[in-house]
Amino acid sequence: MAQEQTPSVLEDASIRSSDGVVLEGRLTQVHQAEGSLRDNAVLLLHGFPSGDVRADKIGGDMPQLCERISAELRWNALAIRFRGCGESQGNFSLAGWCDDASAAIDFLHESLKPRNIWVVGFGTGGTVGLVAAARSPRVAGAAVVGSPADFHDWADNPERLLRHAREVGVIKDSSYPDQPKSWQSELRNVRADEVAEYFPPRPLLILHGSDDDAVPHFDARLLADRHGDAELRIISGGGHQLRHDPRAISILLGWLDRQTTDGFDRDDDLPALAAE
């Protein structure tokens, strides 16, 4: 007989990232009747701000997805706001966002002690999430949604990116970055296509819209090729904002559910990449 479970509760979480940067988080926990936690937890990562969804708003809808995952899958779920976004401290850097994702993975491991941690990222959040996931043997698998394989387009024109980052509010300090060359070099060093090759045997879901005008679906196919055994799903007519496409969310939830119902069991000796 299935054990009775209490509803999940959405609560605030504070995550300390590198350099002492404090990140805003929202966490749902699902308890069994006797109080033990489920074996699975998922980390949700938002994308880069835009003129339509600025840094103060980006990721604000992720807690709703946390609640849905907890309600339908009975998993714990954590959504964070990357540095420079929402109430999180700091200013945007690509390496800093990778560190934020890693800190959130560590937070889930230390606070909830789930057997399996899954990372789901949208847009830029998917790319840095996959990099952080590849570095951690605690991560069982990952899903990337509308995510670029690399950031060479940003690296080719870092001044334009810096202007845009200031305009959308993800960089707030006028004197930042204090080491521009280091900040720019991160734009070439953070590459999902490279880490995807070393991610197996961990499963990878790649979701992409056929009409994505921000990230070409070639990037999705490249990631799938580099992984070798990824599940690639191209959403017909889908754009870049698949977070709001019910077809994409349905595929994502179904994929997460299958990872456990099909008998996936994380190997404690999974390989991990060393952080650069």
pLDDT band at 38 (very low <50, low <70, confident <90, very high): low
- Give pLDDT, residue 30: 86
pLDDT at 23 over 90: yes
Specify whether domain 9-260 bears CATH 3.40.50.1820: yes
pLDDT at 263 over 50: no
Residues 115-157: pLDDT tens digits?
Answer: 999 999 999 999 999 999 999 999 999 999 999 999 999 999 9
pLDDT band at 7 (very low <50, low <70, confident <90, very high): low
pLDDT band at 6 (very low <50, low <70, confident <90, very high): low
pLDDT band at 239 (very low <50, low <70, confident <90, very high): confident
Residues 7, 106 contacting (CB under 8 angstroms): no
pLDDT band at 262 (very low <50, low <70, confident <90, very high): low
Determine which of 57-61, 214-218, 244-248, 257-261 has the lowest per-residue pLDDT on average: 257-261
pLDDT at 272 over 60: no
Structure tokens at 154: 């940003």
- Give pLDDT, residue 36: 42
Residues 98, 132 contacting (CB under 8 angstroms): yes
Q: Which of 36-40, 147-151, 242-246 has the largest mean confidence? A: 147-151
Looking at every residue in the chain, the average pLDDT score rounds to 90
Percentage of the chain beyond pLDDT 70 is 89
pLDDT at 268 over 90: no
- Give pLDDT, residue 43: 98
Query: Which residue has better confidence, 264 or 126?
Result: 126
pLDDT at 271 over 70: no
Determine which of 25-34, 49-58, 128-137, 151-160 has the lowest per-residue pLDDT on average: 25-34
By C-alpha distance, which of 263, 273, 274 is closest to 116? 263
- Give pLDDT, residue 31: 72
Ranges of each domain in the chain: 9-260
Burial class of residue 166 in the structure, from the number of CB atoms within 10 Å of its CB (0-12 exposed, 13-18 middle, 19+ buried) = middle
175 DSSP 8-state letter: T
- Give pLDDT, residue 32: 58
CB burial of 209-236 (b: ≥16 within 10 Å; e: otherwise) equals: beebeebebebbbbbbebbeebebbebe
- Give pLDDT, residue 9: 77
The pairing of strands 139-145 and 76-80 is: unpaired
pLDDT at 218 over 80: yes
